[in-house]
Amino acid sequence: MKKYPSLASPSRILVIALRHLGDVLLITPLVRSLHEAYPQAQIDVLVFDNTAAILEGNPDINRIITTPLRPTRTDYQYLVSQLFRRYSLAVITQTGDRPFIYGLLAASTRVAVVPKKDQKGAWKRYLVQSWTEFDDENTHTVLQLLKLADLLGIARNYTLVSPRPTGDQVLPAFSGRSAYAVLHAYPMWHYKRWTINGWIETAQFLLDSGLKVVLSGGPAPEEIDYVNEIHRQLSPEVLNLAGKTTISQLADIISKATLYIGPDTGITHLAAAMGVPVIALYGPTNPVKWAPWPTNYASDENPFRKLGDQQVNNIYLIQGIADCVPCHQEGCDRNRQSRSACLENISPESIKKAILQVLNQEQRQQ
């Protein structure tokens, strides 16, 4: 880590986070740290256009700048016009080439996460005033990003900030619905999936336990089809919201739930931020690095260890079963569309056990 020796209070700050939905949510503790340290500064965030919704209504952000995942030449030209030397500080949260180029264009003062010296791209540390090395194994992503706050000599804030619906975006309360659980069965990549039969058995157990069940899902046709397949094999009273909500509307629904169950996906990180009990199904993914960030967790120690089922505050993490877990690879065939045997080996009984823990805790608090 190379710390910048001094920095006058910046007037305009650009935070660059060109990652997936959950990754962008995990920058919000860093953004809040910046906002608290520099309350007069304008803080803008650059993200892909398909992730901007996760920052909707964030009070720490003045402007969300978006770019397509695969920009055209015209897109590049427009973005450069929006960024070029408009900022006094650029905060680069990832090691890729594009974020560094944008940071170079945007500000004369830059802090960044950089690759380790023995990795490709290590030279990027010479393009910034202050840097910290990327750790992909032993440091949680939230803590990794908060090292950028350390570089600036500002206090850490550990709070995830969830999206906030405004006005008519708020869905009316579920008429006549009592306590309910939200199940989000479909992750972006196949290697993070559990089994359809497992989801069906879990949903039925929730119904038998007296909870209503809400199935959530995004607007992609394959995701809607996957959730529909689960829904068809359940009671008609199960509410299927796949493709029917915005991110902020879903956040509002999750915030009122008794519990949430989901795999390693951005919506599971969102549920963690809402403060409800979260049962998270993890297989190849290293929980030290990527477990959901627990509510009210404010420590410089990683919240989760690498192995075993664990609970920290509102997070109940269920880990897949295999000698290689967590391999930190993209499934058994090492590609995003492959299966993960460890996840398929998770029994519904282990999920039911966690559900009972949550429900018993709820009863004790009433």
| Cα dihedral across residues 281, 283, 284, 287: positive or negative | positive
| Segment 53-68, tens digit of pLDDT | 999 999 999 999 999 9
Q: How far apart, in whole angstroms, are the C-alpha atoms of residue 234 and residue 242?
A: 15
Measure CA 321 to chain center.
Answer: 23
| Predicted local distance difference test score (pLDDT) of residue 168 | 55
Q: Strand order of the sheet with strand 42-48? A: 63-67, 42-48, 12-16, 89-92, 110-114, 130-133
In the predicted model, what is the mean pLDDT of residues 112-119? Answer: 94
Name which of 2-16, 165-179, 208-222 the model is least confident about: 165-179
Which residues are registered as beta bridge partners of 336? none
Taking CA atoms, 55 is separated from 16, 44, 344, in Å, by 13, 11, 33
| Predicted local distance difference test score (pLDDT) of residue 175 | 46
Name which of 48-62, 164-178, 273-287 the model is least confident about: 164-178
Write down the residue that tokens 């199960």 correspond to. Answer: 238
**Is the pLDDT reported for residue 308 higher than 70?**
yes
| Segment 45-103, tens digit of pLDDT | 999 999 999 999 999 999 999 999 999 999 999 999 999 999 999 999 999 999 999 99
Which of 123, 119, 124 has the alpha carbon at shortest distance from 104?
124
| Predicted local distance difference test score (pLDDT) of residue 296 | 96
Which residues are registered as beta bridge partners of 65? 46
3-state helix, strand, coil in the chain (%, to 5): 35, 15, 45
| Segment 203-215, tens digit of pLDDT | 999 999 999 999 9
DSSP string, 157-204: ----------GGGSPPP-TT--SEEEEE---SSGGG---HHHHHHHHH
Q: Note if the pTM is more than 0.85.
A: yes
- Letter for the amino acid at 51? T
Q: Compute the C-alpha angle 227/231/235, nearest 5°.
A: 160
Identify the burial level of 202 via C-beta atoms within 10 angstroms of its C-beta, where 0-12 means exposed, 13-18 middle and 19 or more buried: buried
Virtual torsion, Cα 110, 111, 117, 120, nearest 10 deg: -60
Averaged pLDDT score across all residues of the chain: 93
**Percentage of residues in the chain having pLDDT higher than 70:** 95
**Residue 345: Cβ within 10 Å count:** 14
Taking CA atoms, 323 is separated from 137, 154, 186, 281, 348, in Å, by 18, 42, 25, 17, 20
Element (H, E) at 319: strand 315-319
| Predicted local distance difference test score (pLDDT) of residue 361 | 86
Q: How far apart, in whole angstroms, are the C-alpha atoms of residue 199 and residue 202?
A: 5
| Segment 242-277, tens digit of pLDDT | 999 999 999 999 999 999 999 999 999 999 999 999
| Segment 219-236, tens digit of pLDDT | 999 999 999 999 999 999
